[in-house]
Amino acid sequence: MSDIALLQEEFQEYSRKRRYRDWDWKTPSPLWAEMNRRAQELPGASPVELKAIQYEVIAERFVPHLFRHTPFFFEMGLKPAEARGVADYGLPASWLTHRNSGAVWRRFPSEMEEYRACSRHGIHLGGIWDAHHHSTNSTNIIRCGLESFYNEAETELKNCATEEERVFLRSAMRGLLAVKRIAEKFAEAADRKLTTVSDPEEARFLEMISSAARRVPWKPAETFYEGLAMFPFLYEVIASLEGNGISAFGRLDYVLGPLYERDLAAGRITREEAYDLLCRALCFTDCRYDKYGSWKDAYNTQENGTAMSLGGYGDDGGAVCNEVTMMILEVHRNLNLLFPKLQLRICRETPKAFLDAANVNLLEGRNVLSFLNDDCIIAAQVRAGKRREDALQYAIGACWEVIVEGCEHSAGANCYFNLLRILELSIHDEPDVVAETGVRCRKLDSCTSFEEVYRCFLENVLREVRRMCHTIETVGRFWPEVNPSPFFSACMKDCLRNHRDYTAGGGRYNPHALPFAAFANAVDSLLAIRSLCFGERRACSLTELLNVLRRNWEGAEVLRRQALCSPFFGDGTSESNELAKRLFDDLYRFTRDLKNERGGPFQLAYYEAWEFINWGKLTRATPDGRRDGDVIAQGLSPSHAHSNMQLTTVMNSVGRLDLTLAPGNSCLNISLPLGKVSSEVLEGLERAFIASGGAQLQPNCVRREDLEDAMVHPEAHCDLFVRVFGFSARFILLPPEWQREFINRHQYSA
């Protein structure tokens, strides 16, 4: 067995004993008692002071765990193996959140009741605050070191206008010292273990840990190994301290490339040694999950949200594609990793070698990639008011959430909004939904023209969007009382200078994404109404169509086929493109005055996760030909209902939308026939996507016969990876309805 295989086995064995499904969620962590005792000694302490207590108790009481076969130090043992840091009950990092959250939510009983009801009924998600999609701020920390932030906070103490500002800075300093102490404890644990080990390789790893953990992250990383060591360390430490989910490693190749080149020139490392270190650093994310366990019993339905971003523009305007980039791609493929997610930033300057190395995965049916168009996404950030030099450093948090790393928390996935559900509620009577949610959509029945239909739908959407955003702003501005994060804030640009936690708007940028779902279905439904009821070849009156929909198309199959033959988003026609652009632009134009809980803007996005199935079940028949319960379209992908599509026309339709108006990101999913595409075809497709102005491309290369056989003989297809939506999974672990949905996706010709 190879050394890496031994390490993977060691990781897996450790994780098996600490599964999310086996965790005792009824019992608070023993550390809570110490936190409560210390809080009682400080009556009237502010939330940031209490958070500093949480940091210090965790740093004092945790017991470092070191693995035999790796020189990386990160495991604190304070949460389930798969968990990424969200404040689930009983974890040490959730003490402050659970101490404070109830009092805040009780201030808004009616608002919260209706808001959560909207989530139950598939109108929008029910999160006030996105606690899941934080980055590690790794670039700032690795390049600057925590000591620089500590010194900045110390200097800023002299410039404070209020005691509240001083308390924040002191709490941030206590957090920085707590993380310094955590690293030192790993060094001390390595020293103790060194006195008992006999294996030369294990001793060498312990010596590396002893040296590095005394330097980083307090000091800037000086070597490739020190920089690489910080990615798992920061992930685990922030997740274990803050009660915030960490989902973005950041830009590994951008940060590590210069360190590697410097080490290589100085003779401190060889390519083989660097490759070995990358294997040992990256495989731990994949090993945390039960790779062949039940989807139903797994943490977050087996989605490990941790993403790493590779490639994209560098500081000099050229594309990042260095030896570290290529080694990471090689490691991910050779170890057959599913996680961490590969989020590949591409641009006009991306070299062929980068795309070729990435596309080998697709050509082998390893559907583990997502492509981000820098030329679109960076322009969108700049248009949203962010500095270009900052926008260049964006990373993807988990599935698609754009985060200008080290400058913001973009809050990307707590409030997906279902456009189609609003259209459906503009047609169907659902008194229980109205009573529970407070959503009151004006019905389309009184409309006498298509313009009236369009205005009625748009007004209904905007009314409910504004109500949702108002609740997020009103309730969410109390989040600094629930879970401030002074350590995390100290590592983010401008929080120390502003003397404010990022939860209170102290970051350089303070956006909140506003993601719309079922865009294609909404456009298709409007097009069908115009075609069937107000077109030159009118097939029925609006009243007749609405009555048919209320019967779930019963007895009207001919009319339904006519609806399906109407223009649709993705067909490339001027009629569909113009209406899609009109709706897209109007959603942008009429939401610009909305402010979020931190005083920043709501930035538009177009994506949804598993809601495309779950919300489809809740959404009744719609004019685009959907029946009750049919799935809805994902992101900016066309509806499942259409099979007569060409990839070029779909990309052109997406390209007609000005996606620089959607800095939160937008996604297009495509499936291609495995075995019938070449590396040249894939490269051409990716470059065409860049030129079209799309934002995120999520490709699959699959054989339908393999998918069908996997449903019958799963044991023969254990490593059949598919890109489900914002993440990839083993096809055989998906529930049958998810498998069938995936098989039924339109497959474009090569």
pLDDT of residue 604: 98
* pLDDT tens track for 495-536: 999 999 999 999 999 999 999 999 999 999 999 999 999 998
> What is the band of 295 on the pLDDT scale with cuts at 50, 70, 90?
confident
* Mode of pairing for the β-strands spanning 602-606 and 394-397: unpaired
Residue 168 placed within a domain: yes
Q: Residue 117: which residues within 8 A CB-CB, separation 6 or more?
A: 436, 437, 438
C-alpha radius of gyration, the chain, whole number: 26
The last residue of a domain, from among 663, 696, 711: 663
pLDDT of residue 750: 67
- Per the CB < 8 A criterion, the answer to whether 490 and 113 are in contact is no
Is there a single domain that holds both residue 330 and residue 285?
yes
Residue 724 placed within a domain: no
Q: How far, in Å, CA of 187 to CA of 189, rounded? A: 5
The last residue of a domain, from among 634, 663, 692: 663
Q: How far, in Å, CA of 453 to CA of 460, rounded? A: 11
- Per the CB < 8 A criterion, the answer to whether 571 and 645 are in contact is yes
**pTM for the predicted model, two decimal places:** 0.97
Of the candidates 77, 75, 66, 76, which has an alpha carbon nearest to the alpha carbon of residue 207?
66
Residue 168's domain comprises 3-107+131-404
Q: Per-residue pLDDT for 1 more than 70?
A: no
Q: How far, in Å, CA of 515 to CA of 663, rounded? A: 10
Is there a single domain that holds both residue 245 and residue 344?
yes
Q: How far, in Å, CA of 501 to CA of 493, rounded? A: 11
Phi, psi dihedral angles at 343 (to 5 degrees): -110, 105
> What is the band of 2 on the pLDDT scale with cuts at 50, 70, 90?
confident
Three-state secondary structure call for residue 629: coil
Residue 484 placed within a domain: no
Helix axes 450-476, 109-120, angle to 10 degrees: 130
Instruction: Give the strand order in the sheet containing 246-251.
Output: 134-135, 246-251, 307-311, 341-346, 369-373, 696-702, 667-673
Q: Which stretches of 185-253 are assigned E, i.e. beta strand?
A: 246-251
Q: How far, in Å, CA of 177 to CA of 159, rounded? A: 21
In Å, what is the CA distance from 690 to each residue of 70, 369, 659, 685?
A: 39, 16, 12, 9
Is there a single domain that holds both residue 362 and residue 427?
no
Is there a single domain that holds both residue 543 and residue 605?
yes
Q: Per-residue pLDDT for 118 more than 70?
A: yes
pLDDT of residue 304: 67
Residue 362 placed within a domain: yes
Neighbours of 733 (CB within 10 A): 21
pLDDT of residue 306: 87
* pLDDT tens track for 317-339: 899 999 999 999 999 999 999 99
pLDDT of residue 643: 82
- Per the CB < 8 A criterion, the answer to whether 289 and 348 are in contact is no
Residue 624 placed within a domain: yes
pLDDT of residue 644: 80
> What is the band of 290 on the pLDDT scale with cuts at 50, 70, 90?
confident
Is there a single domain that holds both residue 348 and residue 455?
no
Tokens 């969410």 -> residue: 476
Q: How far, in Å, CA of 364 to CA of 342, rounded? A: 16
Residue 68 placed within a domain: yes
Strand partners, 250: 308
Number of domains present in the structure of the chain:
2
The last residue of a domain, from among 663, 697, 727: 663
Is there a single domain that holds both residue 364 and residue 442?
no
Q: How far, in Å, CA of 260 to CA of 248, rounded? A: 22
> What is the band of 466 on the pLDDT scale with cuts at 50, 70, 90?
very high
Is there a single domain that holds both residue 204 and residue 321?
yes
pLDDT of residue 289: 84
Residue 631 placed within a domain: yes
* pLDDT tens track for 72-110: 999 999 999 988 888 899 999 999 999 998 888 889 999
Q: Per-residue pLDDT for 259 more than 90?
A: yes
Residue 532 placed within a domain: yes
* Mode of pairing for the β-strands spanning 341-346 and 307-311: parallel
pLDDT of residue 102: 87
Q: Output the average pLDDT for the chain.
A: 96
Looking up residue 249, the CATH number of its domain turns out to be: 3.20.70.20
Is there a single domain that holds both residue 53 and residue 20?
yes
Is there a single domain that holds both residue 440 and residue 341?
no
Is there a single domain that holds both residue 265 and residue 341?
yes
Average pLDDT of span 116-136 = 94
pLDDT of residue 299: 75
Chain center to CA of 102: 26
Is there a single domain that holds both residue 418 and residue 305?
no
String of DSSP letters for 647-680: HHHHHHHHHTS-GGG-TT-BEEEEEEETTS--HH
Is there a single domain that holds both residue 157 and residue 234?
yes
